[in-house]
Each structure stands twice: as C-alpha cells, then as structure tokens.
Amino acid sequence: MTSFRKYAAFVLICSAPVAFAAAANAAEQYTIDPAHTFPRFEVSHFGFSTHRGQFNTTAGKLVLDRAAKTGSIEITVQTASVGTGDPRLETELRSEKFFNVEKFPLMTFKSKNVKFNGDVPASADGELTLLGVTRPLTLAITQVKCGTHPLNKKDDCGAEVTGNLKRSDFGMKTFIPMVGDDIILRIQVEAWKD
C-alpha cells in the first residue's frame, strides 16, 4: 500500500506541470483575415441621407480563452484605404479636414477586456486611437461562429461587431453639424486560427 501511495504521488508530481501547461495554452490565437474584415461607418449627410464608407485594409490579432472567458483584440486600420464609391469624396476624407492620412496613417483598436455571454464573446471594452487621440470605445459582438471553413478546412471565427462614437471626440469637426458628429460602426470580422 505504501508503494502504491508513493507511485500515485510520483504520478501527480510529474503530471502537474503537464496539466498547468495545458491550462496555460487554453487561449487560442487568431489572425484577422483582411479579405473578409471591413470596418464600415455611417454618418448623417446634411440630414438628407445616411452616408456609408469602409476601410479596405485591416490587420490584427484576436486571443480567445473560452474556458477562462477572457480575450484580447488588437486591430490596425490603414486610414488611406477609406472607400466610398466616390473618388472625389475619398480624396476629401484623406485630407487634413478628416482622416489626415499623411500624418496619421493608422487607426487602432485595442482591448484586453473581452466579455463573454456563456461561451461566446459578447462585447469588448477597449481604446480607439484616431488622429493621435485615444478614447474608450465599447464594441458589441454578435453572430459569433467558430468552426472549420468548408472550403480550405482551416479553423475560422467570424462575427458582426458594432459600436458608436462621436468624431468630434477625436478632433474631427469638419462640417459639424451639417455632416453628423455621431458615427455608427458596423464591422464584419473573420479570423484564421494560428
């Protein structure tokens, strides 16, 4: 009986680092798929219509730990990639009046506080940096789906992300209030598991 106890203790001591390593590696890392991730914005245009645009170049990383119900997000957007369907407007948006892409080529969102609803992410409290100004921003996360992609058989996660901000909070005040201050964000996201 004594030898059995010594053996059991030996097994526990040897397996403890393995169990700890497995727990430490529970977080899954994902790389943003730039071909299927497009931050879009909506803004009132003189009250006559809602104008929409998107950014066409996005990169970043996601980390999800479903067991611990934690996660982090780091997204970088190239501001010069703004698109609206109107080349003249795009030139205006790239100018100093709006995104000032020469001086501020990147916009970033970083969050170390992803909140879960059950076993799926539901929101992310983080910080948006735009025009050199950093402000808190909360993004809602819905329609989360993770699984094997049917075409390339890789592990993929996707979601719809929404948020609201005032552009004046970042110093972008051109044409307010004729062109709205309130911005609605709608972001489609897909990311491949590393």
pLDDT in tens for each of the 194 residues of the chain?
A: 444 344 333 333 344 443 333 334 589 999 999 999 999 999 999 999 999 999 999 999 999 999 999 999 999 999 999 999 999 999 999 999 999 999 999 999 999 999 999 989 999 999 999 999 999 999 999 999 999 999 989 999 999 999 999 999 999 999 999 999 999 999 999 999 99
Bridge partners, residue 126, by sequence: 137
The pLDDT value recorded for residue 26 is 81
Neighbours of 177 (CB within 10 A): 12
Distance CA 69, CA 63 (A): 11
Against a cut of 0.95, is the pTM above it? no
CA proximity to 187, closest of 124, 135, 134 = 124
Half-sphere exposure of 182 (CA within 13 A, CB side): 5
> Can you tell me which residue has the tokens 């009132």?
44
In sign, the C-alpha dihedral spanning 151, 157, 163, 167 is negative
How is residue 169 written in tokens?
A: 């909070």
How is residue 25 written in tokens?
A: 């590696």
Distance CA 71, CA 78 (A): 24
Question: Residue 75 is which amino acid?
Answer: I
Distance CA 29, CA 21 (A): 16
> Can you tell me which residue has the tokens 């110093």?
171
The pLDDT value recorded for residue 64 is 95
Fold adopted by 27-193: Lipocalin (2.40.128)
Domain residue spans of the chain: 27-193
The pLDDT value recorded for residue 25 is 55
pLDDT tens string 40-91: 999 999 999 999 999 999 999 999 999 999 999 999 999 999 999 999 999 9
In sign, the C-alpha dihedral spanning 102, 103, 109, 111 is positive
